[in-house]
Amino acid sequence: ERCYLQCLCNRSLCYYKLQEYEKAKELAQTAIDAHAKSRVVDDSGLAKCLFRRGQASLGLKDSRSAVDSIAEAIRIEEAQLAKGAPINDATMKAMQRELLRARHAAKADAKAASSKLKAQMGGFLKAGSKTLGDPKKERRELAATKIDCALK
């Protein structure tokens, strides 16, 4: 069972390397689901699967999901470290680097979305501000225009 979970996670890595991010994410999620149902208690393996899902999400330009998955993987690895489990320093550093990359991507995505929204709303707000005037004055002008048209 443990070997099956590792194979799923490694297949996910292979698809990630081939830049087939959708398939990589799908396999990583399958591994996470299988881990939840398994009798094997291997939180380090779960962290690896979460990390793979985060990498695939980042490849799919879903930076928010990537940040969540990778941060969860790091949290699990740190909990393993606190329990005294042997953790590979290179793995932790790679996860932290990838988390930093995902956070930068999420920040850039948020900034782009914000500026796009401002651009879309900017015209709306400018056009709307023209109509914000004194309602009594506008009614008087409208009445005067209608009277002038009727008298002609």
98-126 confidence digits (pLDDT tens): 999 999 999 999 998 888 888 777 665 55
Give CA 89 to chain center in angstroms.
26
Rounded Cα distance between 102 and 62, Å, is 9
Name residue, tokens 């393993």. Answer: 80
- What are φ and ψ of residue 87, in 5° steps? -120, 135
Residue 15: band (very low, low, confident or very high) from pLDDT cuts 50, 70, 90: very high
Question: Cα separations (Å) of 22 from 60, 69, 87?
Answer: 7, 15, 29
How long is the chain?
152
Q: What is the pTM of this model?
A: 0.74
